[in-house]
Amino acid sequence: MANNPMQQFTVNKIGPEIKIAGIDLSFTNASLFMLISASLILLLLFFGSKEKKIIPNKIQLIAELFYTFVAKMISDTAGSKAKPYFPFIFSLFMFVLFCNMVGMLPYSFTVTSHIIVTLIMALFIFIAVTIIGFLKHGFKYLSIFVPSGVPAILLPLITVIEIISYLSRPVSLSVRLFANMMAGHTMLKVFGGFVVSLGILGGWLPLSFSVALTGLEILVAFLQAYVFAILTCIYLNDALNLHH
């Protein structure tokens, strides 16, 4: 392990290099940890729904907890119209959560600490929500850029501001998740480095910080997955129920 706290974010190829039509599709440690997170989710949900008991065992309880948590979040923020989108938001939430949590294990790789991963997810949500809005409301969907009760002189200015605000959604969504994960992991590594360099005499203080930060990071990992999912619900709500 190198001393550089940014070392943990490097993407390494695993196995042979695969190139298809000039695009590098090699299997990397990022793909490996995405695969691990996805299979952990599948395993949890498979074993959680295998024995459908009235009094659930532990694993079924966890799976049901996740289910009700997401279902409640969707019905609270986006209403009953968003029910058909439950599978999408559930998989999104679970994937982000598990990527964050798997990243908390020592020697692992945090997929969500790379902006390309979070940006792709955010852009997908953004484009999907825009398409849903246009499908549901036709060109009336453009009225979200024109708030009611604005004087005619200000209207062009406000419309431009609204469009910028709308376009900033995927940026804020992706940067929030990526920045939180990267900053937290860098900080953990920096404090870990202090423990080593201060030795057995002075290393106890940064070590205690490190322990506290690990707790905080686990909270952040959960919270960021929650925020990511709830903002998706809010954007979906804007597209489904047009009211401005």
Partner 1 sequence: MTIPDDFKTRLKIAKSKIKKDIDSDKEKRGSFMGNAFKLGTELVAAVAVGTIIGFILDNWFGTKPWLIIIFFFLGAAAGMLNVIRAANKMQKD
Tokens 């390309």 sit at which residue?
116
Q: Which of these segments, 31-39, 191-199, 204-212, 223-231, binds partner 1 (CB under 8 A)?
A: 223-231
The span from the CA of 72 to the CA of 226, in Å, is 12
Among 12, 172, 197, 208, the residue binding partner 1 under the rule CB under 8 A is 172
Radius of gyration of the chain (CA): 22
4 by Cβ neighbours in 10 Å (0-12 / 13-18 / 19+) ranks as: exposed
Member of 25, 161, 196, 211 binding partner 1 (CB under 8 A):
161
Contact residue for partner 1 among 180, 188, 189, 206 (CB under 8 A) = 180
CB of 144 to partner 1, least distance (A): 12
Piece of 1-9, 129-137, 156-164, 202-210 that binds partner 1 (CB under 8 A)? 156-164
In this chain, which of 231, 233, 236, 239 binds partner 1, going by CB under 8 A? 231
- Residue whose CB is less far from partner 1, 84 or 215: 215
Residue 229 · residue 70 · CB < 8 Å: yes
- Give the residue among 242, 243, 239, 244 at the shortest CA–CA distance from 132: 239
Among 176, 186, 190, 218, binds partner 1 (CB under 8 A): 176
Least separation, in Å, of the C-beta of 233 and partner 1?
12
Residues 75-94 interacting with partner 1 (rule: CB under 8 A): 76
Q: Which stretch binds partner 1 (CB under 8 A): 56-64, 93-101, 132-140, 175-183?
A: 175-183
Using the rule CB under 8 A, is 150 a contact of partner 1?
no
Please state, in angstroms and as integers, the Cα–Cα distance from residue 159 to each residue in 141, 144, 171, 243, following that order: 14, 9, 19, 16
Judged by CB under 8 A, the residue of 54, 55, 152, 164 near partner 1 is 164
Contacts of 115 (CB under 8 A, 6+ apart): 174, 175, 178
Binding flag, residue 165, partner 1 (CB under 8 A): yes
Selected binder of partner 1 within 168, 197, 208, 241 (CB under 8 A): 168
CB 108 within 8 A of CB 43: no
d(CA 2, CA 10): 12
Burial letters 219-240, b for 16+ CB under 10 A, else e: ebbeebbbbbbbbbbebbbbbb
Judged by CB under 8 A, does residue 146 bind partner 1? Answer: no
| Binding-site ranges for partner 1 (CB under 8 A) | 76, 157, 160-162, 164-165, 167-169, 171-172, 175-176, 179-180, 219, 223-224, 226-227, 230-231
